[in-house]
Amino acid sequence: MQPQTNQAKKTSLFAMIKEDFATPVRKDPALKSRLELFFNYPGLIALVHYRIAHVLYQKKWRLLSRIIMGWTQFLTNIDIHPAAQIGRRVFIDHGIGVVIGETAIVGDDVTIYQGVSLGGVSLARAKRHPTLESGVVVGAGAKVLGDILIGQNAKIGANSVVIKDVPAECTAVGIPARIIPPRTNDEYKEKATKNALDSAEKDFSPESSEQTQDCCKALSSGTSVPLPDVSKNAFLYLLERIEILEQEKAMQGTLLECQEAQQALQELKQRLDERYGKYIQAFKNA
């Protein structure tokens, strides 16, 4: 991160603000007119005010810089501390509720969505906020807390709570966030194929080739492998249960003594038990 900070210092304030105005044009397809930048992009307004306040803060005009950002918070509902270090071409999309703490470091080409907090978990007067390297994307509502490092081009899922480092190119999702490593296309196809075959062998009977074909079609179309169909297993179980009840009723009386009928009924009950086992297994795998 230090080289980016030095690069930001060498770039003039006017050049950085010019890049800030060009970033939404490049990143937001909803933008139809440059006039909208002044009325519909609070993240841009907050970022421009931050650029000015940050320069003042570095020149020891700290009270004035805090006043500027306090007014900005009132206008945009975005809270950025003037001491934070924010790189070039940063895009704060929608922006409502974004909080960037005093010791946070944000690299170049970072995208931050609404409701994101780059917060601290310590009261110490030291580095206590996260560092985001270049190209990071932070989803709406995510909380990135503490002096942690989010690696280059990493992605933070919406509403995730991140409390540990995220390696470059990885994705963090969940509460607390778990790390999902990147995959190449070949690795993804190999893993998806293995999952498809395992699912077909484990969850579907040999005679149920239609389910296996659906699984392979989903794989070839690029969609995710379907999970076991709990509703279908339940429906088949109920159908076979009804069939057994009907046969038991029909066997009352004279047919009750028929050994062949009793054997057929026993086979139906055994098949029903197998169907019930698959029904329960589908619940476990869903």
Distance CA 173, CA 166 (A): 11
What whole-number percentage of the chain has pLDDT above 70? 70
Under the banding of pLDDT at 50, 70 and 90, the label for residue 183 is confident
Among 8-17, 97-106, 110-119, 131-140, the minimum mean pLDDT is found in 8-17
**What's the pLDDT score for residue 156?**
95
Distance CA 186, CA 194 (A): 12
pLDDT digits (tens, 9 = 90+) for 218-231: 444 444 445 455 56
**What's the pLDDT score for residue 7?**
46
Higher pLDDT, 19 or 239: 19
DSSP for the chain, please give it.
Answer: -HHHHHHHHHS-HHHHHHHHHHHHHHH-TT---GGGGGTS-HHHHHHHHHHHHHHHHHTT-HHHHHHHHHHHHHHHS-EE-TTSEE-TT-EE-S-TT-EE-TT-EE-TT-EE-TT-EEE-S--SSS--S-EE-TT-EE-TT-EEESS-EE-TT-EE-TT-EE-S-B-TT-EEETTTTEEE----HHHHHHHHHHHHHHHHHHHS-TT-HHHHHHHHHHHHTTPPPPPP-HHHHHHHHHHHHHHHHHHHHHTSGGGGG-HHHHHHHHHHHHHHHHHHHHHHHHHHH-
Burial code (b: 16+ CB inside 10 Å, e: under 16) for 168-200 equals: eebbbbeeebeeeeeeeeeeeeeebeeebeebb
State mean pLDDT over 176-184: 84
**What's the pLDDT score for residue 236?**
72
State mean pLDDT over 35-49: 93
**What's the pLDDT score for residue 101?**
94
Under the banding of pLDDT at 50, 70 and 90, the label for residue 206 is very low
Checking if the pLDDT of 45 tops 70, the result is yes
Among 5-14, 79-88, 212-221, the minimum mean pLDDT is found in 212-221
**What's the pLDDT score for residue 107?**
94
First-to-last CA distance in the chain?
Answer: 43
**Mean pLDDT computed over every residue of the chain:** 80
